[in-house]
Homo-oligomer: A and B are copies of this chain.
Amino acid sequence: MEPTEAETYDVRPIGRVESELVDPAEAPRQGHLGAPTAWLVIDADVREGIRDLRPGQEILVLTWLHRGRRDELSTQPGDDPTGPERGVFSTRSPARPNPIGLHRVTIVAVAEGRLQVEPLEAIDGTPLVDIKPVIRSDEG
């Protein structure tokens, strides 16, 4: 089928990141590069969805990187700052057509409507859009 470009879809945040990271310039590019522990604060209307999440579990957190530009199709990759620009879909740049961030983290604590996770490089206030369990096909 031919692609049609007319429709868009609504992402409705399910919560927010609460983190000591407030300056995007100081956030590591990826969690494994020295990111802190942070809280995922889940909105009351979808809180039931996290009821089975427990400390020790690994999850994938999807965020909306709301500060990123959406019109960049080539970019300087953070892991190769002296190399050539690359097509954005070959990078994890936050500036991309749909600025969805993907973060693999471990749950370290659970409280009412909140999950403490690490490591998370997203800054304070970043909207959360989804949480998924890690499954076999993510492992390669």
Residues of A bordering B, CB below 8 Å = 1, 3, 5, 7-16, 18, 30-32, 41-43, 45-46, 48-53, 58-60, 62, 64, 66, 73-74, 86-92, 96-98, 100, 102-104, 124-125, 127, 129-140
> Would you mind naming 25 contact pairs between A and B with Cβ atoms under 8 Å apart?
A1-B125, A3-B42, A5-B12, A8-B11, A8-B13, A9-B64, A10-B10, A10-B11, A14-B97, A14-B98, A46-B73, A48-B73, A48-B87, A50-B90, A51-B87, A52-B87, A62-B100, A97-B130, A98-B130, A100-B129, A102-B102, A103-B137, A104-B137, A134-B140, A138-B140
Chain B contacts for A132, CB-based, 8 A: 89, 92, 102
Query: DSSP class of A's interface residues: helix, strand, loop or mixed?
Result: mixed
